[in-house]
Amino acid sequence: MPRILVVDDEPDICQLIRRFAEHDGFETVGVSDGLQAVELCRRQDFDIIIMDAMMPEMDGFTATRRIREVKDIPVLMLSARGAEYDKLYGFEVGVDDYVTKPFSPRELLARINVIIKRHEKNSSPAEPQDAVLEFGGIKIDTLGHTLYLDGVKTELTAKEYDLLLYLVKHKGIVMSRDQILSSVWGYDFYGYDRTVDWQMKLLRGKLGKYRDCIQTIRSVGYKFEISI
């Protein structure tokens, strides 16, 4: 039975998620702040964490970073704050998805299922592929999931790495936001292409002088093209 850790200081939110999740066959565990979540994750394993952004003791952003240091558990962040800065910061600390309150419980469960399935797929043995991909000063070690720029290791979140690898594998081909959402996030939903834009902005920042290798094709999507 898949296990969900719900981290939120609003009892009504926890109860709502628990009711829908348990109806769909999930086991749920709830705590009211980030500090409790970190301590619990040190002792137990979960298939996904639903993390509130703003809580007492320790906020969700800090808790996500701390948990990432000890466990590879996907995180879906819930927040009443929907500003671009907040979402970008959430993705920067490594959340897999960001949902603003109020939310649809059914949509939340659909996202949870997609994230869990994708995490299981990424954790399973990979199909044979080129161990190293190189484009000028860009080097991707696919076995180590590591990016090197001019020989210097560059830290990427799991989602940033997946996004870069997807674009590289389709080098020179324009990929629409819907295609990227479906392939990298696993979502067939429409209307969430800003998620792609937020992650792309973060990835470009990590690429430094190679940021222009990811080209924006207006009103269409993105493509990877060597321009340096």
pLDDT at 188 over 60: no
What is residue 190's predicted lDDT score, i.e. its pLDDT? 44
Average pLDDT over residues 71-100: 87
Q: Which CATH architecture has domain 3-123?
A: 3-Layer(aba) Sandwich (3.40)
| CATH code of the domain occupying 132-224 | 1.10.10.10
- Identify which has the larger pLDDT, 144 or 45: 45
> Is residue 139 very low, low, confident or very high in pLDDT (cuts 50, 70, 90)?
very high
Residue 136: CB atoms within 10 Å? 12
7: left (phi over 0), alpha (psi -120 to 50) or beta: beta
Q: How far is CA 5 from CA 156, 195, 216, in A?
A: 25, 23, 37
Q: CATH 1.10.10.10 region(s) of the chain? A: 132-224
What is residue 50's predicted lDDT score, i.e. its pLDDT? 96
**Pairing status of strand 146-149 against strand 152-154:** antiparallel
What is residue 191's predicted lDDT score, i.e. its pLDDT? 45
Q: CATH 3.40.50.2300 region(s) of the chain? A: 3-123
Average pLDDT over residues 119-146: 77
pLDDT at 122 over 90: no
Tell me which of 133-142, 170-179, 180-189 is least confident.
Answer: 180-189
Give me the percent of the chain exceeding a pLDDT of 70: 92
Residue 36 main-chain phi, psi, to 5 deg: -65, -40
Instruction: Looking at the chain, list the stretches that DSSP marks H as alpha helix, in order from N- to C-terminal side.
Output: 11-23, 34-43, 60-70, 84-93, 105-123, 158-169, 177-180, 193-207
- CB-based contacts of 147: which residues, under 8 Å, 6+ apart? 138, 139, 140, 141, 153, 154, 156, 161, 164, 206
What is residue 152's predicted lDDT score, i.e. its pLDDT? 94
What is residue 91's predicted lDDT score, i.e. its pLDDT? 86
Tell me which of 10-14, 64-68, 151-155, 196-200 is least confident.
Answer: 196-200
Distance CA 199, CA 188 (A): 17
